[in-house]
């Protein structure tokens, strides 16, 4: 979107100029302050996404822009457009209003209570009204009139309505007509790309038969949105659906997956869940992924020198009134999971989703979804919060105060972690580290209904937005790094992973010549040599951090070049194809993080970014430095252990 066009846009809720966020399911653009309120409403009310810092499928972004440009906001403010509304005292917020209570009260009335939406005349049988609206929707989606369909959906039309005479759903009709934007809108409101018509055909089949191949491929992506989003959160990559790859199961790179009795029990409970219960858990985890990523984008895009105290991050998933109290409690517990614990849960869900889709259903007795959360909750270590509290407590309401977090806090936390790792690297010279196990986590995408791919929309729950492919930093060694600026994973919430399942590219050698299969070398370098190179890396990282703290961004690139050189020298100490999987994983993390660090520093040197952008680059640089130090520590640990044996 050009700057010129953006300058004419205003926030749909308060008319502030140049809104930077969108509410996907409402079809409106909103400013930062109003976005802070939208996020507190929950995804069941408003699905927010940053226009430039969040990943978008092009067709979904085009759908939102088309709705906004064609006056979709008038759907949500219908009665405010009536001249009599000014007489009654009704008015929309303006940019000068306080966030609390003025803007908050208006936005909640507008989107939660739908106070200003046009009401249909009262009828005795509401189901008849909904059926009539759904039939109108069924007819309208063959055209390009998006705002008409959004209006029908806002009044109660069902996106998955099965037309008794036609024998299909609105999405079938949109797919046959090649209406890409209508398909995006229907998907946001819960339409299932895998729904069958009376002849057993899906919307994907309709699109292909009508020659709309691009739309058919997009519908496949939507069908796998849930597992694709979870995979992308962990390793920054999505499966290649065009070539039949529908799952990528990430693997923990730090060899510290929990195999405690609690963890084993939690996995068994996960596998024993009914399909419906498993779907609910998967969708709750999806919502938590979205919350963590959007929080990070929010923090990275704020002007923290002028940020008012009542625009805050969202500390846990807001209450969804359609869910039970127990489920809402379990959803809020997800926010207490550390980055590692949450990554473990996500991997387990991905693995079990794949297992279920392949038809290997578990016939064990049903368990409540909350038992899974309870089992994993018991695995929290000393870093977790409120370990002495009961597994389930009262559900926080939307009115509970939240603590404000800033990007600076995240950066400071990253520096603290890095300093801790640096200290450990030095102390390892005098200590014998404990051994680590290299384990692969379990978790898949979700399946059931007949063993076919299960769209998250099929459950009838709130629709979810689809994160578009973002540019990923992929090193030759096969490590996929999550691109912070596009998917918004937080500094703490980011987990660098190795991939398995359909992506088992071996590590290349330092000279670019791939060793032959089976030529694995068990020899490891001298511990003193590894420690020496680690200290050299640490010294260069400290120099880089000082530059970051003193905002000397011109020093980023020279520092990164020193770090890359030290990393290359350290990697050269190890054999071309180590037999140890732990060593291979650590080398992958080390070299790819250094490569990405250099790219981020180059970006800062090549351009003259605005303060908010340089803040984002600084966060990425600190995260890369942390990953490098972490990998170096792992290599020192395993080398020391093996050489002492």
394 or 285, which is more confident:
285
CATH superfamily, domain at 527-643: Nucleotidyltransferases  domain 2 (1.20.120.330)
**Three-class DSSP labels, 276-307:** HHHHHHHHHHHHHHHHHHHHHHHHHCCCCCCC
Supply the pLDDT for residue 128: 65
pLDDT of residue 507 exceeding 90, the answer is no
Contact predicate 12/30, CB 8 Å = yes
> How do strand 473-474 and strand 249-252 relate by DSSP bridges?
unpaired
- The confidence band for 51, taking pLDDT boundaries of 50, 70 and 90, is very high
- The confidence band for 419, taking pLDDT boundaries of 50, 70 and 90, is low
Burial of 353 (0-12, 13-18, 19+ CB in 10 A): buried
pLDDT of residue 133 exceeding 60, the answer is yes
- The confidence band for 311, taking pLDDT boundaries of 50, 70 and 90, is low
**Average pLDDT for 373-384:** 34
Q: Quote the DSSP letter at residue 506.
A: P
Tokens standing for residue 90: 């009704």
Most confident of 38-42, 521-525, 568-572: 38-42
Most confident of 308-312, 433-437, 463-467, 578-582: 578-582
> How do strand 473-474 and strand 480-481 relate by DSSP bridges?
antiparallel
Contact predicate 353/447, CB 8 Å = yes
Q: Across all residues in the chain, what is the average pLDDT? A: 74
Question: Which candidate, 130, 553, 488, 452, places its Cα nearest to that of 302?
Answer: 488
Contact predicate 357/454, CB 8 Å = yes
Which of these ranges, 68-77, 197-206, 283-292, 378-387, has the smallest mean pLDDT? 378-387
Q: Dihedral of CA 454/156/198/212: which sign? A: negative
Most confident of 124-128, 212-216, 487-491, 589-593: 212-216
Written out in words, the top-level CATH class of the domain with range 21-112 is mainly alpha
Nearest 5°: phi and psi at 233?
-60, -35
Supply the pLDDT for residue 340: 83
For 619-643, the pLDDT digits (tens) are: 778 878 878 888 888 888 888 888 8
Residues 189-218: b if buried by 16+ CB within 10 A, e if exposed: bbbbbbbbbeeebbbbbbbbeeebeebbeb
For 187-244, the pLDDT digits (tens) are: 999 999 999 999 999 999 999 999 999 999 999 999 999 999 999 998 888 899 998 8
User: What is the H or E stretch that residue 643 is in?
Assistant: helix 611-644
User: What is the H or E stretch that residue 500 is in?
Assistant: strand 497-500
Question: Which candidate, 316, 270, 203, 284, places its Cα nearest to that of 462?
Answer: 284
pLDDT of residue 14 exceeding 70, the answer is yes
d(CA 116, CA 94): 17
d(CA 628, CA 483): 16
Q: Which residue has the tokens 């990253």?
A: 414
196 or 549, which is more confident:
196
pLDDT of residue 578 exceeding 80, the answer is yes
d(CA 373, CA 131): 38
pLDDT of residue 533 exceeding 70, the answer is yes
514 or 300, which is more confident:
300
- The confidence band for 618, taking pLDDT boundaries of 50, 70 and 90, is confident
- What is the per-residue DSSP string for 542-607? HHHHHHHHTT-GGGHHHHHHHHHHHHHHHHTTS-SSBS-HHHHHHHHHHHHHHHHHHHHHHHHHHS
Q: Dihedral of CA 375/380/381/382: which sign? A: negative
- The confidence band for 380, taking pLDDT boundaries of 50, 70 and 90, is very low
Tokens standing for residue 446: 């979700």
465 or 85, which is more confident:
85
- The confidence band for 420, taking pLDDT boundaries of 50, 70 and 90, is low
- The confidence band for 521, taking pLDDT boundaries of 50, 70 and 90, is confident
**Average pLDDT for 94-109:** 90
**Average pLDDT for 548-552:** 78
Question: Which candidate, 314, 328, 404, 400, places its Cα nearest to that of 37?
Answer: 314
For 138-173, the pLDDT digits (tens) are: 999 999 999 999 999 999 999 999 999 999 999 999
pLDDT of residue 287 exceeding 70, the answer is yes
Supply the pLDDT for residue 54: 92
**Average pLDDT for 527-556:** 84
**Average pLDDT for 584-611:** 79
**Three-class DSSP labels, 164-227:** CCCCCCHHHHHHHHCCHHHHHHHHHCCCCCCCCCCCCCCHHHHHHHCCCHHHHHHHHHHHCHHH
- The confidence band for 520, taking pLDDT boundaries of 50, 70 and 90, is confident
Question: Which candidate, 619, 9, 621, 625, places its Cα nearest to that of 302?
Answer: 619
Nearest 5°: phi and psi at 500?
-130, -165
Written out in words, the top-level CATH class of the domain with range 127-243 is mainly alpha
**Average pLDDT for 299-316:** 66
249 beta partners = 500
- The confidence band for 405, taking pLDDT boundaries of 50, 70 and 90, is very low
Contact predicate 520/580, CB 8 Å = no
Q: Tell me how many degrees the CA angle 78-80-84 measures, rounded to the nearest 5.
A: 120
d(CA 93, CA 103): 6
- The confidence band for 518, taking pLDDT boundaries of 50, 70 and 90, is low
pTM: 0.61
Supply the pLDDT for residue 450: 31
CATH 1.25.40.20 placement within the chain: 127-243
């Amino acid at each position: 979107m050009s700057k010129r066009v953006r300058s004419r846009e205003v926030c749909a809720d308060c008319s502030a100029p140049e809104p930077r966020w969108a509410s996907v399911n409402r079809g409106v653009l909103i400013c930062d302050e109003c976005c802070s309120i939208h996020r507190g409403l929950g995804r069941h009310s408003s699905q927010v996404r940053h226009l430039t810092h969040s990943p978008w499928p092009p067709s979904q972004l085009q759908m939102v822009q088309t709705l906004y440009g064609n006056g979709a906001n008038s759907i949500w403010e219908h009665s405010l457009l009536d001249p009599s509304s000014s007489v009654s005292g009704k008015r929309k917020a303006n940019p000068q209003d306080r966030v609390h209570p003025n803007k908050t009260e208006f936005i909640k009335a507008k989107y939660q209570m739908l106070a200003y939406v046009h009401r249909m005349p009262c009828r005795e049988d509401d189901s008849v009204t909904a059926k009539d609206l759904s039939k109108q929707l069924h007819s309208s989606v063959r055209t390009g009139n998006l705002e008409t369909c959004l209006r029908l959906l806002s009044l109660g039309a069902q996106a998955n309505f099965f037309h008794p005479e036609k024998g299909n759903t609105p999405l079938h009709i949109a797919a046959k007509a090649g209406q890409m934007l209508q398909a995006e809108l229907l998907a946001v409101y819960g339409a299932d790309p895998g729904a069958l018509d009376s002849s057993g055909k899906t919307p994907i089949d309709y699109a292909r038969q009508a020659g709309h191949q691009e739309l058919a491929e997009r519908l496949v992506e939507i069908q796998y949105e849930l597992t694709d989003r979870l995979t992308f959160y962990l390793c920054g990559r999505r499966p290649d659906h065009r070539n039949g790859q529908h799952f990528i199961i990430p693997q923990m790179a730090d060899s510290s997956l929990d195999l405690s009795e609690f963890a084993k029990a939690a996995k068994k409970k996960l596998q024993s869940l009914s399909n419906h219960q498993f779907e609910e858990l998967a969708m709750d985890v999806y919502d938590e992924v979205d919350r963590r990523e959007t929080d990070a984008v929010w923090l990275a895009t704020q002007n923290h020198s002028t940020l008012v105290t009542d625009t805050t991050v969202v500390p846990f998933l807001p209450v969804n009134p359609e869910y039970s109290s127990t489920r809402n409690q379990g959803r809020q517990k997800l926010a207490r999971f550390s980055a590692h614990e949450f990554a473990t849960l996500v991997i387990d869900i991905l693995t079990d989703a794949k297992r279920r889709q392949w038809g290997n259903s578990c016939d064990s007795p049903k368990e409540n979804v909350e038992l899974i959360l309870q089992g994993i909750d018991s695995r929290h270590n000393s870093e977790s919060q409120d370990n002495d509290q009961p597994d389930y407590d009262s559900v926080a309401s939307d009115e509970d105060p939240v603590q404000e977090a800033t990007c600076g806090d995240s950066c400071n936390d990253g520096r603290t972690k890095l300093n801790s790792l640096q200290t450990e690297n030095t102390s390892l010279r005098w200590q014998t580290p404990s051994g680590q196990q290299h384990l692969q986590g379990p978790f898949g995408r979700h399946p059931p209904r007949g063993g076919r791919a299960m769209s998250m929309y099929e459950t009838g729950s709130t629709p979810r937005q689809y994160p578009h492919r973002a540019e990923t930093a992929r090193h030759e060694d096969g490590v996929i790094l999550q691109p912070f600026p596009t998917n918004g994973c937080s500094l703490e919430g980011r987990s660098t992973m190795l991939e398995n399942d359909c992506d088992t590219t071996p590590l290349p050698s330092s000279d670019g010549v791939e060793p032959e299969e089976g030529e694995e070398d068990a020899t490891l370098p001298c511990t003193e040599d590894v420690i020496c190179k680690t200290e050299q890396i640490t010294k260069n990282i400290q120099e880089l951090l000082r530059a970051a703290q003193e905002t000397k961004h011109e020093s980023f690139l020279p520092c990164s070049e020193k770090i890359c050189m030290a990393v290359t020298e350290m990697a050269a100490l190890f054999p071309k194809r180590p037999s140890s999987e732990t060593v291979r994983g650590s080398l992958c993390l080390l070299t790819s993080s250094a490569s990405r660090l250099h790219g981020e520093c180059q970006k800062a040197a090549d351009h003259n970014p605005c303060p908010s952008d340089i803040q984002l680059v600084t966060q990425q640089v600190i995260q890369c430095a942390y990953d490098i130090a972490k990998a170096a520590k792992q290599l020192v640990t395993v080398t020391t252990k093996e050489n002492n044996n």
